[in-house]
Every structure is written in C-alpha cells, then in structure tokens.
Amino acid sequence: MADQGDQGKVTSPPQRTAGLGKMLGVLAIAFAFTFSLVPLYRIACEKLLGVRMEREANIVKATEIESKAGGAAGTGQAAERRVVTVEFDGTVNSHLPWAFRPNVARMEVEVGKPYETTYFAQNQWRTAVVGSATPSVAPARASSYFNKTECFCFTAQTLQAGEKKDMPVRFIIDPALPKDIKTITLSYTFFKNDLLTDELKAKSPHAAGPQVKSAP
C-alpha cells in the first residue's frame, strides 16, 4: 500500500504540468485568433464594402496637430515656419478603364496646417464601374506624418458610363516630420473593384460597350 501511495505522488506533478501546458496553449490560440480579427475585419471592409478604416484615426491625429498649433499661437510662442513640397501622382491598374490624374502636380505647404487638393477621374467604359484607390507616401518614413482627413481612397468610388469627377483630398503634415525630409510624394493607384462592380451589374445589368472618348 505504501508503494502505491508513493507512485501516486510521483505521477501527479507531471499530470498537473501537462494540464497547465494545455491551458496555456488554448489561451495562446484564443489570443492569436482575437488579434487576427482586426486585420481580417479591415480586409473584409476594404474588399466587401470598399471602406478603408484609417479615416477616424487620421481625423483624431489631425485635430491634435491643429490643437497644438493653435495652443502655441495662443501663448504667443513663435512657431518655426516650415514649408515642405508635396508632389502628387496617380495611376490606374490595366483592368480599370478609367482616366485618373492629379489636378495639381505639386504644392508648397506649411506643416501643421490643413490643405486640400483634387484628383480627376473619368470612367471610359459604357457601363458603371467601381474602383478602389490605394495610397502610398514616399519616402516611406514620412507616411506616419502625412495625415489624410478626407480622401476618395477611404471608400470605393462608382463612376457611371462616361462620368467625370473631381475627387478631393484633405491633408495635414505633422510638424514632427523629420527635418531632413523636404519633399513628400503622395501617389494613388486605382484598381477595379470586381466584387462591387459585379454587384452593381447584377442590380442594373447592361451589355458592355466600347470605351468612351477620354477627356482632354
């Protein structure tokens, strides 16, 4: 009887350790799954709804930048006036029958102040097409300081056959932008949103036709 009791005492700790290991494993899997929901939700919104999730965060940050600038002016502190060149570029994917370009090639902007520019787009197909724009900022390390508060890239854009549209972009550059960055390039690439375009066709089907003459 004594030997059996000793054997029970020896095997108990490994069993507890194994149980603890399983529990930690389950917790790790649950954490990983929960963490993955954020990018999955972002992808679903962009692909299925044509909605980008960065707008609210950009608006909050832009408000903070303007508040800091206003607070410094209110206290009479002399803020350093710093001007940066912003260049604009735009391209379309080969599957999207649109014309797309910036209306202004470059702007001289003061950091900490809001600005607005526009991009021109025209659907050159004889049926409605939905497009989604992907932005990029160069140099890459300037991207976290370039805040878009309003942008056509936040939602999918629908253009009817031959429709032309000027699409606004409102932005503000954080004064904390590294001093050695003098020029920032904001680029957009427009892609055809096949899912939303197909849904649009299903609601109002029309036969595809030839391209529409592009705007001068």
Cβ neighbourhood burial of 11 (10 Å; 0-12, 13-18, 19+): exposed
Domain for residue 157, yes or no?
Answer: yes
Residue 130: closest CA among 168, 163, 176, 86:
163
Instruction: Note whether 3 and 98 are same-domain residues.
Output: no
Asked whether residue 88 is assigned to any structural domain, the reply reads: yes
Taking the CA atoms of residue 105, residue 46, residue 144 and residue 188 in that order, the dihedral angle to the nearest 10 degrees is -20
Tens place of pLDDT for every residue, the chain, 216 residues? Answer: 545 555 545 545 555 666 666 666 656 565 544 444 444 434 444 444 444 556 566 666 667 776 666 655 555 555 679 999 999 999 999 999 999 999 999 999 999 999 999 999 999 999 999 999 999 999 999 999 999 999 999 999 999 999 999 999 999 999 999 999 999 999 999 999 999 999 999 987 554 555 566 666
We report the CATH number of the domain holding residue 142 as 2.60.370.10
Host domain of residue 148: 51-203
Same domain, 35 and 134: no
**How many domains does the chain contain in total?**
2
- Going by the DSSP 8-state scheme, the letter that residue 211 receives in this structure is P
For residues 36 and 67, membership in a common domain is answered with no
Full-model pTM: 0.69
Angle CA 104–108–112, to nearest 5:
120
Look at residue 210 and tell me if it is in a domain.
Answer: no
Range list of H helices, the chain: 2-44, 55-74, 194-203
96 belongs to a structural domain: yes
Are 81 and 130 within one domain?
yes
User: Are residue 70 and residue 159 in the same domain, yes or no?
Assistant: yes
